[in-house]
Amino acid sequence: MEISIRNLQHSYNGESVIKNIDLSLKKGEFVSIIGPSGCGKSTLFNLITGLEVPDEGDILFDGKNMLGKRGHSSYMMQKDLLFPWKTVLENVLLGPTITKQEAQEAVEEARSLFPMFGLEGYEHYYPEVLSGGMKQRAALLRTFLHKKELMLLDEPFGALDALTREKMHSWLLDIWSHMQRTVLFITHSIDEAIFLSDRIYVFGPRPTEVILDVKVPLPRPRNKEMTVTPEYLEVKQQLMNALYEMN
Amino acid sequence: MEISIRNLQHSYNGESVIKNIDLSLKKGEFVSIIGPSGCGKSTLFNLITGLEVPDEGDILFDGKNMLGKRGHSSYMMQKDLLFPWKTVLENVLLGPTITKQEAQEAVEEARSLFPMFGLEGYEHYYPEVLSGGMKQRAALLRTFLHKKELMLLDEPFGALDALTREKMHSWLLDIWSHMQRTVLFITHSIDEAIFLSDRIYVFGPRPTEVILDVKVPLPRPRNKEMTVTPEYLEVKQQLMNALYEMN
Amino acid sequence: ACNQVDEPTQVEEVETEVESDAGAEAPAESEELMEATFILDWVPNTNHTGIYVALEKGFFEEEGIDLTIIEPAMEGAVPIVAAGQADFGIGSQTGVTIARSTGIPVASIAAVIQEHTSGFASPIEKEITSPEDFAGKTYGGFGGAEEEAILNTVLNQYEVDPASVDNVIVGSADFFTNTKRDIDFQWIFYGWTGIEAEVRGEDINMIYLKDIDPVFNYYSPVIFSSDAVMEEQPELVESFTRAVSRGYEFAIEEPAAAAEILIAASPETSEELIRASQEWLSPRYKGDAEKWGIQSEDVWNDFTAWLLEAELIESDVSTDEVMTNRFLP
Amino acid sequence: MRTLRRGISFAAPAVIAVILFLVIWEVSVWIWNVEEWILPAPSLIFQAFFDTWHLLPDHIWMTTKEAVLGFLLGIIVALIIAFILDISPLLRKSFYPILLFSQTIPIIAIAPLLIIWFGYGILPKVLVVALVTFFPVVVSVAEGLQSSDRDMIRLVRSMGGSFWQVFWSVRFPHALPYLFTGLRIGATYSVLAAVISEWVGASKGLGIYLIKAQSSFATDKVFVVIALISLLSCLLFFVVVLLGRLMMPWKHKSHKK
Amino acid sequence: MRTLRRGISFAAPAVIAVILFLVIWEVSVWIWNVEEWILPAPSLIFQAFFDTWHLLPDHIWMTTKEAVLGFLLGIIVALIIAFILDISPLLRKSFYPILLFSQTIPIIAIAPLLIIWFGYGILPKVLVVALVTFFPVVVSVAEGLQSSDRDMIRLVRSMGGSFWQVFWSVRFPHALPYLFTGLRIGATYSVLAAVISEWVGASKGLGIYLIKAQSSFATDKVFVVIALISLLSCLLFFVVVLLGRLMMPWKHKSHKK
Ligand SMILES: Nc1ncnc2c1ncn2[C@@H]1O[C@H](COP(=O)(O)OP(=O)(O)OP(=O)(O)O)[C@@H](O)[C@H]1O
Ligand SMILES: Nc1ncnc2c1ncn2[C@@H]1O[C@H](COP(=O)(O)OP(=O)(O)OP(=O)(O)O)[C@@H](O)[C@H]1O
Ligand SMILES: [Mg+2]
Ligand SMILES: [Mg+2]
């Protein structure tokens, strides 16, 4: 599935938030977005998932206009939004429940992923007792189990320590390469963006627009050693310049 | 004020979370804590602020036992916890309201800090419309305005982009050096920890204990250039080893 | 709206099981029993004794009637009978007349008691022995339609300024409670509240309405039915009245036994009060009339005229529309 | 101007619905030929209203006074009781049966007590209205106070916030929507409660007017009173809704001022 | 065993409070020498209960049946109406006045209508109870449905969740505490509503017993009935509370199973 976003504009209460965004994803591509806090990244995701309708512009999936259409992508919001009335297991099964997947199968798959996500033993707990990072992991697992071709991840690793984060990185790249899911990824970490992505968009401050679109020239599969290669450092420098120039 | 924590132990529902923690802070020291997600860092903060009482152990402020005592430190929780019924300005003024500070003065100080925190223009908005990072900044501002000698910050910069984060870093170091506040800081970023702290504790996985206590041998004031010095890299290596050995 | 006969009423029947000898021959014709519903005006009391006696003694069955008694706790029997949800009801002459003048098609078919037994009562220590003493006192009313007009008529007759009498609607509290506080006198039925005072040993002064002005010697209560029932099933009305009449005759002759029947039918009501009340009331059902239930046209004429004069009804109601003796045995 | 227009667009659907309801009623009465002493058509009720309106102001005023004063008293009592229930689970458990008891007494069964203790003045009516209206408020507010966000409370406590500071900064604002739910129910009941309280003993008020109308089979006047009770209740309800909007601006607006 | 012990420790404060209440009452009656036909002492009420208990089971059973059936009907109606009110602000605005109207009709003023339409059986009583109890449930549930977390709704919608999936996965569970607040209020009213409904016309039931006792000046029996109404209401209330705990385990427990 190819996604292309054209001339997108959006405003809240008459104040422009997204000035003009053009953006495209190829099938199976992993693309990251970085940009200053409050610039409109989450807003873009809300537009893509159809939760909000832009003032202007098009969102095309394989050429088909998807403005205001919903249910075509798995979306991990910035807040964890676990339902307090569901146990962790029930929470992560939200997707399969909504798409009316076969229950038994879904439960088995979910359960098999609990250790990987460091949530083993918490299946039947209510989310209230989870630590901040555990909540985020549960939300990520929930998003993953809602299997759509496009995955939108809004800072999925913000509350994770380096180690857990790396584990998650390799897991994410693993399932991504196996399952050919297209990923659009918001992060604040330049390193994370480079390590994971095929391409990176840099957004400017609100009202935002794309100020840079860089290809990451690193081969797949990635490994930690690549983070000291000159290609890596060059991209990093480029991104940092773009971000710092904003001031 | 000198803080010393001795032989602290805590468990939830019979399951040990904090196995044994000894920890000390000198007056005006900046100390960071890093450790795997879900190990018990936030729990430690809850014990220090008196929100929970440990199963065993002592928390001494200048030799005085503070177990279960509250109101002695400014605490920024991991969740932003902005009150939906208060505007951003009212939210950040929570501390002065509770400590019954002179209102006019507090309002003026708060207002003067809004541009610095990138919240200008949002004074009278309800927090619902803020972006994730803006909420976090508002929560940080609220914590700062609740002026206590000890500041406990639980991942204050998790949702911020690199640029904003740096701005916040230098602001934090600035006020810290001016105001002689003791800071205990939870973070997931090794770089952040090294850049900001005098000392860093590494916590082990749950049930947690201190597995490393390193001094950061960098002079003050800090600047970005220091991040490439051999001292810096050595500390970083030390920390990474400690974290990676946990597996 | 007159399908009341074929439509079986859904109520849980109150019937005290008929075990009397009279009931023995009933089953043979039980399939042809006419169903009828009788609605009370208040909780079962000695005004109703004849009905319960007739039911218990099987008089209704003998007349081919399967009677159901409905006990509403509140007023409202008149529209229910008029609407055909009940065939017979019990109420006051005032009620029937006002209803008729409003266009509600009901008429009285029997007077339960010949003489009017209500009046103004007050505890003896209030020293109210004549309507003249009402001046400056507080009256506790029940919110009846005719009440204020009657009181004012009485006051005018005794040259008391109506404005000097405070009129408070006391609603649900009883005479004894009300007169403990700010109320000085109240309108009561001697056969019930007055008897309760006797039972309690409290002395009261009673000024009977009928002693103040003969026009107030109207019938209360009366048994009534609707035009529809009276026209379409005269035989039902006749049989009903016959049975009821026998019931009251029995109550007149054997007050003690009648009281027990009422007690059995309504065990929740105070037995002592029923017995005392029955004893007081039994001789008054018929009084010195030739037979139980008979109504004098003069009484109706006079009272209707008074109602008209008091503007309680807007148009005259002809007496043969509101009452009839033709169903009496 | 803008407030006016908004007011109109706010009230319009309600007014239209009421009119529709009345039209259906009127038509049904005509179609099934319902006799007027059973269920009078709205037109007849209007008629009766205009014929007798000169009798009404006194009664209306009396009942309104009782309803409003009683409701206010009820609210105060409710807030106090909800607060008491909130501070200790022990108090909650022990108080609830007594609260329930207070709600299960048929007013007219305790009419004698009310009269003996408080006479025939406005006081017993105000008390009855308070008795009826305080309960839904207590139950709602108690639930609201119970369900505050624990972490918000912890935040204020960690700042050294006293019991009262926690209460005013977190628990109370959190309980406000619950409070207004209870107030809406209470407001709805208050006028009818005032009417019923008059049956205990009074010389003025819509309740008295109702009894008199009923005993002279003036069904049309009975319905005039019912309509007035409805109207007054709606008015009170509306005031509560408006107050709710004023006191909880964050529920409707994105910013203050 | 454990459930039993917990049950006892749950009920104990309530029982003690009730006993205390009765003792204070008894003593007050003695001290102020209150006449027994105004306010009988609890001991006399117990006496009356034991003297007449053989008359009671039928009445109790009848009223209980009316209260429970009516309450169930009320709940169903309330859920449907709350749902209708929820789906469109227009419907909400237009419906509310009619809802309010339904709550401001004095039952006994429309008693003849009830009998004419529904006869003397259990039906009109069930309807009256439903009429009384549905309202607090509607108001509470409507508020609960309104106040769901918007972001949670957005999450489910972003997943392609249908209206009903949003409803069942977010709005309904969020509204549950509100629903139970309303149910608690409704449960409290249901028995009294059944009693009052019997005054419309019935031959059995606590309402009938009450009126008979009152009209034969038997204050002690009146209070026996009031006590029974209270007891039944408490029972129903307790069932609702229990059900609430079962249906909202996350409010009391840290994990399931
Ligand atoms: N509902 C709303 N009403 C008004 N303004 C809004 C609303 N939602 C978001 N905004 C504003 O739009 C801007 C962009 O918000 P958005 O959440 O998209 O930022 P973001 O790029 O995701 O930031 P962060 O990295 O901090 O999460 C912010 O300034 C925010 O205040
Ligand atoms: N109230 C509670 N009841 C039971 N277990 C709890 C409770 N609160 C926390 N825990 C458990 O205690 C452990 C430590 O939690 P804590 O929040 O301190 O972790 P953390 O180190 O802050 O992790 P993170 O970096 O993910 O925020 C977790 O496993 C969590 O599930
Ligand atoms: Mg965002
Ligand atoms: Mg934490």
pLDDT tens per residue across all 257 residues of chain D: 566 676 677 778 888 888 999 999 999 999 988 888 888 999 999 999 999 888 899 999 999 999 999 999 999 999 999 998 888 888 888 888 888 888 888 887 777 788 878 888 899 999 999 999 999 999 999 989 988 899 999 999 999 999 999 999 999 999 999 999 999 999 999 999 999 888 888 888 998 888 888 877 788 888 999 999 999 998 999 999 999 999 999 988 888 87
State the pLDDT at residue B68: 84
Q: Calculate the CA dihedral of residues E138, E141, E146, E149 and round it to 10 degrees.
A: 180
Q: pLDDT exceeding 70 applies to what percent of chain C?
A: 88
Could you give the percent of chain A with pLDDT greater than 90?
Answer: 55
Residue C13 pLDDT class (50, 70, 90 cuts): very low
pLDDT value of residue E15: 85
Q: How many angstroms separate the CA of residue E229 from the nearest CA in chain A?
A: 35
Q: Quick one: pLDDT at residue D57?
A: 92
What is the structure's pLDDT at C106? 92
Any idea which ligand is nearest the CA of A43?
A: 1
How many beta carbons lie within 10 A of that of residue E254, not counting itself?
13
Question: From ligand 1's centre to the CA of A57, what distance in Å?
Answer: 19
What torsion, rounded to 10 degrees, do the Cα atoms C144, C147, C149, C154 define? Answer: 180
pLDDT at C29 over 60: no
**Residue E49: what pLDDT?**
92
Residue A247 pLDDT grade (very low, low, confident, very high; cuts 50, 70, 90): low
Would you say the CB of residue A38 lies under 6 angstroms from ligand 1? yes
Separation between Cα atoms, residue C98 and residue C145, nearest integer Å: 9
Mean pLDDT computed over every residue of chain E: 88
Question: How do residues A6-63 score in pLDDT, each as one tens digit?
Answer: 999 999 988 899 999 999 999 889 999 998 888 999 999 999 999 999 999 999 998 8
Quote the mean pLDDT of chain B.
Answer: 90
Quickly state the pLDDT bin for C112 (edges 50, 70, 90).
very high
* Positive or negative: CA dihedral A209, A212, A218, A219: positive
Contact D159 B74 (CB under 8 A): yes
Tokens 């006045």 label which residue?
E97
Residue C15 has pLDDT above 50, yes or no: no
**B and D touching (3 or more beta-carbon pairs closer than 8 Å):** yes
- Under DSSP, the state recorded for A157 is T
Which bound ligand lies closest to the C-alpha atom of A135?
2
Nearest to A51 among E152, E154, E173 (CB): E154
Task: Check pLDDT > 60 for residue C11.
Answer: no
Whether the CB of A102 is below 8 Å from some CB of chain E: the reply is no
Task: Quote the minimal CA–CA distance from C259 to chain D in Å.
Answer: 26
Is residue C28 pLDDT above 60, yes or no? Answer: no
CA distances from A10 to A152, A207, C88, E256 (A): 19, 9, 76, 44
Query: Residue D128: exposed, middle, or buried by beta-carbon count in 10 A (0-12, 13-18, 19+)?
Result: buried
Q: At which residue do the structure tokens 């800081």 appear?
A: B185
Count of all residues that appear for chain B in the document: 247
What's the CATH fold of domain B1-70+152-157+190-246?
Rossmann fold (3.40.50)
pLDDT at D154: 93
* Weakest mean pLDDT among A14-28, B10-24, C9-23, C78-92: C9-23
pTM for the predicted model, two decimal places? 0.89
Cα(B205) to centroid of ligand 2, in Å? 11
- Assess whether pLDDT exceeds 50 at residue C320: yes
Q: Is D169 on the interface with B (CB under 8 A)?
A: yes
Compute the distance between CA of residue E251 and CA of residue E245 in angstroms, rounded to an integer. Answer: 8
Question: Touching check for B142 and chain D: CB below 8 Å?
Answer: no
Q: Which of C12, C14, C202 to mutate to test the interface with E (most CBs of E within 10 A)?
A: C12
| C283 vs C181, higher pLDDT | C283
pLDDT band with cut points at 50, 70 and 90 for residue E3: low
**Predicted confidence (pLDDT) per residue in C232-247, tens digit:** 999 999 999 999 999 9
In sequence order, which residues have a C-beta less than 8 Å from that of residue E84 and are 6 or more positions away? E91, E95
**Highest mean pLDDT: which range of C143-157, C201-215, D95-109:** C201-215
pLDDT, tens only, E65-105: 999 999 999 999 999 999 988 888 888 888 888 888 888 88
Reported as a single tens digit per residue, the pLDDT across A177-231 is 888 789 999 998 888 899 999 999 999 988 899 999 999 999 888 888 888 889 8
Pocket test for ligand 2, best of B9, B46, B206 (most atoms within 8 A of CB): B206
pLDDT higher than threshold 50 for residue E135:
yes
Nearest-by-Cβ selection for D96 from E14, E178, E189:
E14
Mean pLDDT of C212-222: 89
Mean pLDDT across the stretch C308-313?
Answer: 87
Chains contacting chain C through 3 or more C-beta pairs under 8 A: D, E
Give C260-302 pLDDT, tens digit per residue: 999 998 888 888 899 999 999 999 998 888 889 999 999 999 9
Residues in contact with D210: Cβ distance below 8 Å, sequence separation at least 6, in sequence order: D195, D222, D225, D226, E106, E109
Contacts of D149 in chain B (CB under 8 A): 81
In this prediction, residues A154-160 reach a mean pLDDT of 87
Q: Is the model's pLDDT at C105 over the cut of 60?
A: yes
pLDDT of residue D2: 60
DSSP string, C179-221: TTTT--EEEEEIIIIIHHHHHHT--EEEEEHHHH-GGG---SS
If you count residue pairs, one on B and one on D, with CB atoms under 8 Å apart, how many are there? 73
Query: Among the residues of chain E, which ranges form H helices?
Result: 2-31, 42-52, 56-87, 89-103, 111-118, 122-146, 150-158, 163-166, 172-198, 206-215, 219-247
With a Cβ cut-off of 6 Å, ligand 2 is lined by A 129-134, 159; B 12-13, 17, 37-43, 78, 206; E 254
What was the pLDDT predicted at C74? 64
CA of A80 to the centre of ligand 2 (A): 15
| Residue A12 Cβ < 6 Å to ligand 1 | yes
DSSP B48-99: HTTSS--SEEEEEETTEE-TT--SSEEEE-SS----TTS-HHHHHTHHHHHT
CA–centroid distance, B68 to ligand 4, in Å, is 20
CB contact under 8 A, D39 and E219: no
Region A104-121: what's the mean pLDDT? 90
Q: What is the pLDDT of residues B71-130, one digit of tens each?
A: 899 999 988 899 999 999 999 999 999 988 888 999 999 999 999 888 999 999 999 999
Q: What is the CA radius of gyration of chain C?
A: 20
Residue of D nearest to E101 (CA): D230
Residue with the smallest CA separation from ligand 1 atom 17 is B131
At residue E2, the pLDDT reads: 59
Mean pLDDT of chain C: 84
pLDDT of residue D35: 82
For residue E131, pLDDT beyond 80? yes
Q: What is the pLDDT of residues C54-77, one digit of tens each?
A: 999 999 999 999 998 887 756 668
Identify the pLDDT of residue D14: 83
CB of A164 shorter than 6 A to ligand 1: no
**Cα torsion angle, A204, A206, A210, A215, sign:** positive
Structure confidence at residue C75 (pLDDT): 61
Pocket test for ligand 1, best of D252, D253, D254 (most atoms within 8 A of CB): D254
Q: Which of C130, C186, C175, C190 is nearest to C155 (CA)?
A: C130
Q: What are the C-alpha distances in Å from B15 to residues B19, B53, C145, C303, D154?
A: 10, 15, 77, 90, 22
Are the C-beta atoms of residues D203 and C151 closer than 8 Å to each other?
A: no
CA dihedral over C81, C82, C83, C87, signed as positive or negative: positive
Q: From the CB of residue C318, how many other CB atoms can be counted at a distance below 10 Å?
A: 10
Does E207 reach chain C within 8 Å, measured CB to CB? yes
Q: What is the CATH number of domain E55-256?
A: 1.10.3720.10
H/E stretch holding A180? none
Q: Which atom of ligand 1 is nearest to the CA of B161?
A: 25
**Contact check, Cβ <8 Å, A87/E255:** yes
Across C25-29, D182-186, E158-162, E230-234, least confident range: C25-29
Sequence letter at residue E191: V
Highest mean pLDDT among C188-192, D96-100, E66-70, E146-150 belongs to E66-70
Find, in chain A, the residue whose alpha carbon is nearest to that of B79: A132
In sequence order, the 6+-apart residues with CB closer than 8 A to the CB of C132 are C158, C159, C160
* pLDDT score, position B246: 74
For residue E217, give Cα distances in angstroms to A187, C273, D221, E195, E210: 81, 9, 32, 19, 10
| CA A135 – CA A133 distance, rounded (Å) | 5
Say yes or no to pLDDT of C4 above 60.
no
pLDDT of residue D217: 77
